[in-house]
Amino acid sequence: MSYNLLKGKRGIIFGALDENSIAWKTAERVHEEGGTFVLTNAPIAMRMGQINQLAEKTGSQIIPADATNLEDLENLVDKATEILGGKLDFVLHSIGMSVNVRKGKAYTDQNYDWTHKGWDVSAVSFHKTMQTLYKKDAMNEWGSIVALTYMAAQRVFPDYNDMADNKAYLESIARSFGYFFGKDKKVRVNTISQSPTPTTAGQGVKGFDGFIAYAEKMSPLGNATAIDCANYTVTLFSDLTKRVTLQNLFNDGGFSNMGVSNEVIDYFTEE
């Protein structure tokens, strides 16, 4: 169902890889709600994914950009505002990567070059993106910037590895930069802390199926899906959430406020 919540709004969506990705689902929903956007991803991710299909489906152009590279980001913002015909109303940052996770390095045995790379891609890229938007004055007043995170930023999930640190840093950047973006440009900045979601990126984490099954048993409403996250993001891009900023918003079926659930107790006390 469409409510035309984003009619006339323009933006950039980072990180759509394939139809499992939250950014992909968000792009589809933003399109349905009347928003226009450019899609962007790192050149290597674009070769791996199917972003061209999404561009075709949503009538969008693709601008390749390495989100850790300031020149790429400047080019992205300049081209996006040119293609879309004006300043931006929304930006979705949906990128994260840990080389340590990908290569099976334990948290207690990090390759720090890889740690630095993951930190740059997963967190600092959000600062670089916002700084570029801010310096270029590329956002309209009451615009909305959203990044995706996970509760491992607050609690221990042993196999989430250095991504937990990256997410904690990402959330801090959202608050800190969000202050300046709010005061100076009336732009809001929030993070959505999503349930574990079976995306291509998420499935790289060891024991991920167990993660999902446990969260499902713990959450009164069950796990939030990628489409749930896309819908929530649409509300944050809309004018209905004008004064929501500096927040880390849990879209997780209630998981974040649970200590234990009857289902989990039953599982461990079965005769």
- Give the mean model confidence (pLDDT) for residues 38-49: 89
- pLDDT for the residue 255: 98
- Contact 271/69 with Cβ under 8 angstroms? no
Per the structure block, which two tokens stand in for 164?
A: 């937990």
Mean pLDDT confidence for 143-154: 98
Q: What are the structural domain ranges in the chain?
A: 10-269
The mean per-residue pLDDT over the stretch 123-151 comes to 98
Check whether 79 has a pLDDT greater than 80. Answer: yes
pLDDT of residue 45: 83
Stretch 132-140: mean pLDDT:
98
In terms of Cα–Cα distance, which of 169, 149, 158, 260 is closest to 211? Answer: 158
10-269 has which fold?
Rossmann fold (3.40.50)
Q: What CA–CA distance (Å, rounded) separates 45 from 4?
A: 31
Type of residue found at 49? G
Could you read off the pLDDT of 213-232 as tens digits, one per residue?
A: 999 999 999 999 999 999 99
At residue 180, the 3 state secondary structure works out as helix
d(CA 196, CA 95): 15
Per-residue model confidence as pLDDT tens digits over 89-132: 999 999 999 999 999 999 999 999 999 999 999 999 999 999 99
* pTM score of the predicted model: 0.97
pLDDT at 206 over 90: no
Task: Place 76 in a pLDDT band, splitting at 50, 70 and 90.
Answer: very high
204: pLDDT strictly greater than 80: no
Give me the chain's average pLDDT, please: 96
User: Distance between CA atoms of 164 and 199, rounded to whole angstroms?
Assistant: 17
Range with the lowest mean pLDDT among 71-80, 191-200, 253-262? 191-200
